[in-house]
Amino acid sequence: MKEDIEQKICSRLNLDWRDSLMENLGMEVLSASEKRVEITMPVDSRTRQAAGILHGGASLALAETVAGVGSLAACQPDERIVGTQVSGNHVVPAPEGESVRAVGTIIHHGKTMHVWNVDIFRADGRLVSTARVVNNVLKKK
């Protein structure tokens, strides 16, 4: 039952991303909950740098998206999320032609702030980048 609900959430997010940065970069939600999120993204002409490897900016966009999806899942109906900080460290390159997989886990779930750790992996399991993302929780106006 829980897996069915999660699958419906993932399908809905992937549909909602039409005509967005996430769609343009080829991101696809694999799993999403308030504690853990997993999203893939291809390393291709949209996300690579001139040297043929994953662009650091694309990595950070992926990390911020992962944390945003998780924080949205953790929100109350009268709340919204705004990203306030993202920082990352790039470890090894991901070559064009592969997909990377980002896994985010929440490390602080406060009333007004969520802090996420997001690790991005190559297909062979090697760590490409690690990022810390901070989201503020605001009341909807």
What is the C-alpha to C-alpha distance for residues 137 and 60, in angstroms, rounded to an integer? Answer: 20
Give the H/E segment covering residue 73.
helix 56-74
Query: How would DSSP label each residue in 77-115?
Result: TTEEEEEEEEEEEE-S--BTT-EEEEEEEEEEE-SSEEE
List the CATH number of the domain containing 112.
Answer: 3.10.129.10
- Count of domains for the chain: 1
pLDDT for position 18:
74
53, β-bridge pairs:
95
SS3 assignment, position 135: strand
Burial category of 135 from C-beta neighbours within 10 Å (exposed 0-12, middle 13-18, buried 19 and up) = buried
Residue 1: its H or E element: none
Residues of the chain falling short of pLDDT 50: 1
Q: Is the pTM of this model over 0.95?
A: no
Whole domain around residue 9: which residue ranges? 2-139
Residue 85 φ then ψ, to 5°: -160, 135
The reported pLDDT for the residue numbered 8 is 57
DSSP SS3 for 11: helix
pLDDT at res. 97: 97
Q: Which residues are catalytic?
A: 64
pLDDT tens digits, residue range 55-69? 999 999 999 999 999
